[in-house]
């Protein structure tokens, strides 16, 4: 089994309820930021590391997104009849992703700085890591409240607590997915097992990051792109 990730799983199935009227007729990844859909900003990052395959999961109003992706080297998988959440969605897509570790990526964030996938790839150590997450230091997170999701030790090892915000991009091994009996579940269940085994690590992002999970995030992201180098 390979140790280096060569596939990207992009999560695009959610309902986007916090976006209110903006997702009434379209899925959240089709919302435009700086004149382009969110999904295109994410795809730019994914395609720049030249993975063997990119898989995008769909559920809520999938047709506009599926049409938009036609002609690109992207595979789509529609979750039906139920949305499977991040863990269930990743396991459902494994036949398309292949064996070994994969990148997973949320599609509702904008990045200003180095490519987070490239940073993770450079820092990935499969001998000691089951997952490597991008962590956003709180002062560099735009449009996000709270003190963080994880505490990061000097060697990068993560524990639950304040410190850094999970930026929605990671490398993760998928073998533990088969140990979870639920069909619909969050990747947090996988992380909990890795935390218990002290095999989950983080990498602090050096640029700026904006959560576009709410309407105000669009304006904040566009201002961030204007004021920070991309």
DSSP calls for 76-119? EEE--SS--HHHHHHHHHHHHH-SS-EEEEESSEEEESS-HHHH
Nearest C-alpha neighbor of 51 from the set 116, 120, 102, 112: 102
Residue by residue, pLDDT tens for the chain (230 residues) are: 579 999 999 999 999 988 989 999 999 999 999 999 999 999 999 999 999 999 999 999 999 999 999 989 999 999 999 999 999 999 999 999 999 999 999 999 999 999 999 999 999 999 999 999 999 999 999 988 889 999 999 999 999 999 999 999 999 999 999 999 999 999 999 999 999 999 999 999 999 999 998 999 999 999 999 998 54
Nearest C-alpha neighbor of 64 from the set 30, 15, 41, 99: 30
For tokens 């269940």, the residue is 189
Q: How many CB atoms lie under 10 A from the CB of residue 138?
A: 15
Mind listing the domains of the chain with CATH numbers?
A: 7-227 (3.90.550.10)
DSSP calls for 13-30? ----GGGGGGGSSS-GGG
Nearest C-alpha neighbor of 203 from the set 137, 111, 126, 109: 137
């Amino acid at each position: 089994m390979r140790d280096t990730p060569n596939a990207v799983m992009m999560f695009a199935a959610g309902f986007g309820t916090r976006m209110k009227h903006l997702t009434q007729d379209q899925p959240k990844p089709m919302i435009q930021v700086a004149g382009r859909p969110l999904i295109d900003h994410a795809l730019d990052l994914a395609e720049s590391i030249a993975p063997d395959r990119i898989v995008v999961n769909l559920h809520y109003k999938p047709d506009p997104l599926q049409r938009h992706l036609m002609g690109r080297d992207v595979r789509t998988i529609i979750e039906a009849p139920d949305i499977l959440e991040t863990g269930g969605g990743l396991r459902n897509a494994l036949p398309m992703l292949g064996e070994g570790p994969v990148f997973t990526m949320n599609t509702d964030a904008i990045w200003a700085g180095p490519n987070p996938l490239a940073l993770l790839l450079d820092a990935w150590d499969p001998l000691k890591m089951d997952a490597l997450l991008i962590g956003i230091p709180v002062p560099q997170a735009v449009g996000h409240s709270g003190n963080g999701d994880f505490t990061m030790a000097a060697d990068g090892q993560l524990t639950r607590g304040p410190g850094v915000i999970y930026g929605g991009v990671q490398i993760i091994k998928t073998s533990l997915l088969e140990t979870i009996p639920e069909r619909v579940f969050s990747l947090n269940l996988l992380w909990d097992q890795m935390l218990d085994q002290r095999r989950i690590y983080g990498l602090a992002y050096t640029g700026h990051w904006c959560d576009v999970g709410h309407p105000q995030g669009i304006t904040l992201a566009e201002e961030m792109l204007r004021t920070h180098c991309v």
